[in-house]
Amino acid sequence: GAVVSQHPSWVICKSGTSVKIECRSLDFQATTMFWYRQFPKQSLMLMATSNEGSKATYEQGVEKDKFLINHASLTLSTLTVTSAHPEDSSFYICSAITETQYFGPGTRLLVL
């Protein structure tokens, strides 16, 4: 099946710094990718829809200036958590669509 990768798989950073997470579709092109956040023992929550060549669409309550999304190519979308705070600590998962939706392995972010 199709493969979606994320990098890094985990990251620890200090409060106030910015962190960039990459999402790549390895064997297919994806004009649309999705970014999710998952807190412990909860289900995935859609943060935003990343569209290649255009602005991302953010879900209600998600700050677009804090979670910067760039979808510069058909195989890469990036999520930058700016000025990260401890409450941003979470599991971030991206997904991309080909014949169905494939999820990446996730990135665990810990903000100290």
For binding to another protein (CB under 8 A), which residues are involved? 1, 4, 6, 32, 34, 41-46, 91, 93, 95, 97, 99-106, 108
Residues 6+ apart with CB under 8 A from 40: none
Tokens 């956040």 map to which residue? 37
Q: Considering the complex, state which of residue 74 and residue 82 has its C-beta at the smaller distance from another protein.
A: 74
Task: Output the smallest distance, CB 64 to another protein, in A.
Answer: 18
Secondary-structure percent of the chain, ordered helix, strand, coil, rounded to 5: 5, 55, 45
Taking the complex as a whole, the smallest distance from the CB of residue 2 to another protein amounts, in Å, to 10
Q: Which two tokens stand for residue 96?
A: 């991309």
Contact 93, 5 (CB under 8 A): no
What is the spatial distance between Cα 67 and Cα 19, in angstroms, rounded to a whole number? Answer: 10
CB of 108 to another protein, least distance (A): 7
Q: How far is the CB of 24 from another protein (least distance, A)?
A: 13
**Nearer Cβ to another protein (16/105):** 105
Closer residue to another protein in complex, CB, 77/106? 106
Q: Which is nearer to another protein, 8 or 105 (CB)?
A: 105
CA–CA dist 97, 31 (Å, integer): 8
